[in-house]
């Protein structure tokens, strides 16, 4: 889970720098780790899904963001 936390934090930095491709890859990696280690109903999984939704929103990809909310 510590690796997933660091990936998530780095992804947010990339998102804020408009490096959306890099941010998306890191968030998806963090999500996979968190789902595997914590289970799909854990709050950290929800937080990562939220971060992905925000990223999609910033890219005007609202159809991709909606199911994550």
pLDDT in tens, 9-36: 999 999 999 999 999 999 999 999 999 9
Could you identify the residue written with the tokens 């925000």? 54
What is the domain extent for residue 42? 2-68
Q: Could you give the number of structural domains in the chain?
A: 1
Whether the pLDDT of residue 58 is over 80: the answer is yes
* Cα(7)–Cα(29) distance, integer angstroms: 7
Q: Write down the pTM of the prediction.
A: 0.90
Dist CA 7 CA 15 (whole Å): 12
CATH of the domain at 19: 1.25.40.10
Nearest in space to 5 (alpha carbons), one of 25, 34, 43: 34
Per-residue pLDDT band at 69 (split at 50, 70, 90): confident
């Amino acid at each position: 889970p510590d690796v997933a936390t660091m990936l998530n934090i780095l992804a947010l930095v990339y998102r804020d720098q408009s490096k959306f491709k890099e941010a998306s890859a890191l968030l998806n990696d963090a999500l996979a780790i968190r789902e595997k280690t914590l289970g799909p109903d854990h709050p950290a999984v929800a937080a990562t899904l939220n971060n992905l939704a925000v990223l999609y929103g910033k890219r005007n990809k609202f159809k991709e963001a909606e199911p994550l909310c």
